């Protein structure tokens, strides 16, 4: 049984409590939920600010970087006065000012194959706020092996996409079996990003996460929702499960030991 809402919480969350499907019990469930956001950059900024505002009670934030001037064009929870401060600490200060109901757990680290399983295990759902393929493969594989849903988001240029990888649905490796050999995504190089794009995709990730936690509506699952900021279009395309997927297929591996998450991340059958 969760704690009843206090007077301040009834006021703070009153506008969402007016919506059909979100009652006091649902808000209590949100306050008791634990969400891990991996990456406190552009996607993470948008996700963290709405999760915190909505009253998701525990938000884990994992990032090994510090705030840089070139981040501030799109990473809206970080401020000029936080330049040089770790992103997890900068994010924690943002949430503290926004909503005292929220407990922030900071994980000042770049997630690696050695740390990923321990990192995700105490959370209800994990949000992708990363900017690299290797980290996504690692999170996809780790969350799937740990039976934790994974909310994926990615952005480049004017385009972005999102989907939720639930346990019974195809996974990220069904979408992409290994790191693509593609000039558009040079490994380790900063990419151009339209400033509002991470806000849109990160907000969608937070939306899907809150829906999942409250068990309301229809999730973006089994489909990839793509947004083109230049055209102003959203397109939804099905994600087909790969029968030979090494992570969600019938012959899935049981451990990620030996997978090269610093290379192309491919898992040979
Ligand atoms: Zn798969």
- What are the structural domain ranges in the chain? 33-238
Residue 189 Cα to ligand 1 middle (Å): 27
Residue 50 Cα to ligand 1 middle (Å): 29
The 3-state DSSP class for residue 55 equals: coil
79 pLDDT band, cuts 50/70/90, is very high
**What pLDDT score does 187 carry?**
63
Residue 173 Cα to ligand 1 middle (Å): 5
Provide the greatest CA pair distance for the chain.
56
Would you list the DSSP string of 187-242?
A: TT----B-TTHHHHHHHHHHHHHHHHHHT-S---BSEEEEEETTTTEEEEEEPPPP
Residue 177 Cα to ligand 1 middle (Å): 8
Residue 169 Cα to ligand 1 middle (Å): 8
Q: What CATH number was assigned to the domain covering residues 33-238?
A: 3.40.50.720
Q: What is the pLDDT of residues 83-98, one digit of tens each?
A: 999 999 999 999 999 9
Among left, alpha and beta (phi > 0; psi -120 to 50; other), residue 215 is: left
Residue 22 Cα to ligand 1 middle (Å): 32
Whole-number Å distance between alpha carbons of 62 and 112 = 11
Q: What is the pLDDT of residues 166-220, one digit of tens each?
A: 999 999 999 999 998 876 666 667 889 999 999 999 999 999 999 999 999 999 9
Query: What letter does residue 126 receive in the DSSP assignment?
Result: E
Chain-centroid distance, C-alpha 152: 6
Q: Percentage of the chain with pLDDT > 90?
A: 93
Q: What is the pLDDT of residues 3-60, one digit of tens each?
A: 799 999 999 999 999 999 899 999 999 999 999 999 999 999 999 999 999 999 999 9
Mean pLDDT, rounded, for 131-141: 96
**What pLDDT score does 186 carry?**
64
Whole-number Å distance between alpha carbons of 119 and 188 = 23
Residue 151 Cα to ligand 1 middle (Å): 14
Whole-number Å distance between alpha carbons of 9 and 14 = 8
Residue 238 Cα to ligand 1 middle (Å): 13
More confident residue, 2 or 132: 132
């Amino acid at each position: 049984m969760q704690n009843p809402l206090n007077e301040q919480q009834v006021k703070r969350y009153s506008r969402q409590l007016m919506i059909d499907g979100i009652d006091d019990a649902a808000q209590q469930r949100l306050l008791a939920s634990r969400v891990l956001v991996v990456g406190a950059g552009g996607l993470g900024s948008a996700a963290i600010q709405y999760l915190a505002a909505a009253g998701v009670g525990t938000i884990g934030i994992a990032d090994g970087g510090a705030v840089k001037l070139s981040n501030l064009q799109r990473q809206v929870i970080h401020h000029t006065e936080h330049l040089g401060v770790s992103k997890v600490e900068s994010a924690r200060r943002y949430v503290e000012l926004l909503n005292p109901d929220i407990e922030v757990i900071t994980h000042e680290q770049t997630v690696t194959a050695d740390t990923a399983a321990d990192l995700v295990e105490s959370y209800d759902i994990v949000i992708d706020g990363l900017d690299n393929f290797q980290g996504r493969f690692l999170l996809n594989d780790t969350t799937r092996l740990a039976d934790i849903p994974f909310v994926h988001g990615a952005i480049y240029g004017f385009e972005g996409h999102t989907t939720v990888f639930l346990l019974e649905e195809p996974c990220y490796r069904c979408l992409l079996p290994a790191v693509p050999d593609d000039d558009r995504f040079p490994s380790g190089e900063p990419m151009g990003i339209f400033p509002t794009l991470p806000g849109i995709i990160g907000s969608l990730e937070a939306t899907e996460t809150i829906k999942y936690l409250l068990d309301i509506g229809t999730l973006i699952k089994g489909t990839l929702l793509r947004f083109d900021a230049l055209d102003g279009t959203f397109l939804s395309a099905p994600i087909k499960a790969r029968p030979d997927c090494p992570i969600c297929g019938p012959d899935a591996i049981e451990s990620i030991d030996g997978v090269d998450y610093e290379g192309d991340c491919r898992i040979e059958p």
